[in-house]
Amino acid sequence: MAEKIFIVEDERQIARLLQLTLEREGFKTAIESNGRRAYERIIQEKYDLILLDIMLPEMDGMEICKRVREVSDVPIIMLTARDEIRDKVEGLDLGADDYMTKPFAGEELLARIRGVLRRHNERIRNAEETRYVVKNMILYPDRYEVTVKGEKVDLTHKEYSLLKYLVENKRNVLSRDQILQTVWGYDYIGDTNVVDVYISYLRSKIDDKFGEKYIHTTRGVGYAIKD
Amino acid sequence: MAEKIFIVEDERQIARLLQLTLEREGFKTAIESNGRRAYERIIQEKYDLILLDIMLPEMDGMEICKRVREVSDVPIIMLTARDEIRDKVEGLDLGADDYMTKPFAGEELLARIRGVLRRHNERIRNAEETRYVVKNMILYPDRYEVTVKGEKVDLTHKEYSLLKYLVENKRNVLSRDQILQTVWGYDYIGDTNVVDVYISYLRSKIDDKFGEKYIHTTRGVGYAIKD
DNA sequence: AAATATTTTAAATAGTTTATCACAAGTGAA
DNA sequence: TTCACTTGTGATAAACTATTTAAAATATTT
Give the tens place of pLDDT for each residue, B4-40: 999 999 988 889 889 988 998 899 999 999 999 999 9
Q: Which residues contact A74 (CB under 8 A, 6 or more apart)?
A: A42, A47, A48, A49, A50, A68, B105
More confident residue, B80 or B15: B15
Distance (Å, rounded) from C-alpha A206 to C-alpha A150? 13
DSSP letters along A91-144, please?
HHHTT-SEEEEES--HHHHHHHHHHHHHHHHHHHHHHT---EEETTEEEETTTT
Please tell me the distance in Å from B99's CA to the nearest CA on chain A: 9
Q: Is the CB of A193 under 7 A from strand C?
A: yes
Question: Which residues of A fall within a CB distance of 8 Å from B90?
Answer: 136, 138, 147, 149-150
Residue A187 pLDDT greater than 90, yes or no: no
Is the pLDDT confidence value at A91 over 80?
Answer: no
Angle between helices B61-69 and B35-44 (to 10 degrees): 20
Distance between CA atoms of B12 and A22, rounded to whole angstroms? 33
Q: Is the pLDDT of residue B221 over 60?
A: yes
Angle at B47 between CA B69 and CA B142, to 5 degrees: 50
Residue of chain B whose Cα is closest to the Cα of A227? B95
In angstroms, the Cα distances linking B5 to B15, B51, B58, B60 are 12, 7, 21, 19
Q: What is the pLDDT of residue B91?
A: 56
A60 — phi, psi (to 5°)? -80, 170
- Asked if strand D contacts A193 at the CB level, meaning under 7 A, the answer is yes
Give me the pLDDT at residue A143, please.
82
- Cα gap A38→A60, rounded to integer Å: 10
Mean pLDDT, residues A163-180: 93
- Which of B144, B152, B156 should we substitute to test contact with A (largest number of A Cβ atoms within 10 Å)? B144
* Residue B119 to chain A, least CA–CA distance (Å): 9
Spatial distance between the Cα atoms of A211 and A32, rounded to a whole number of angstroms: 55
Q: pLDDT at position B166, please?
A: 95
How far apart CA B73 and CA B13 sit, in angstroms, is: 29
Structural element, H or E, at residue A73: none
Residue-by-residue DSSP string for A127-189: HT---EEETTEEEETTTTEEEETTEEE---HHHHHHHHHHHHTTTS-EEHHHHIIIII--SS-
The model's pTM is: 0.79
Kindly indicate the confidence band of residue A127, based on its pLDDT and cuts at 50, 70 and 90: low
Q: Do B91 and A212 touch (CB under 8 A)?
A: no
Sheet holding A215-218, edge to edge: A174-175, A222-225, A215-218
Whether pLDDT at A4 is above 90: yes
Q: What angle do CA B22, A51, A118 make, to 5 degrees?
A: 70
Beta bridge partners of B138: B133, B147
Which amino acid type is present at position A186? Answer: Y
Among residues A13, A55, A3, the alpha carbon closest in space to that of A34 is found at A55
Alpha-carbon gap, residue B179 to A134, rounded angstroms: 38
How many angstroms from the chain centroid is the CA of residue B168?
Answer: 19
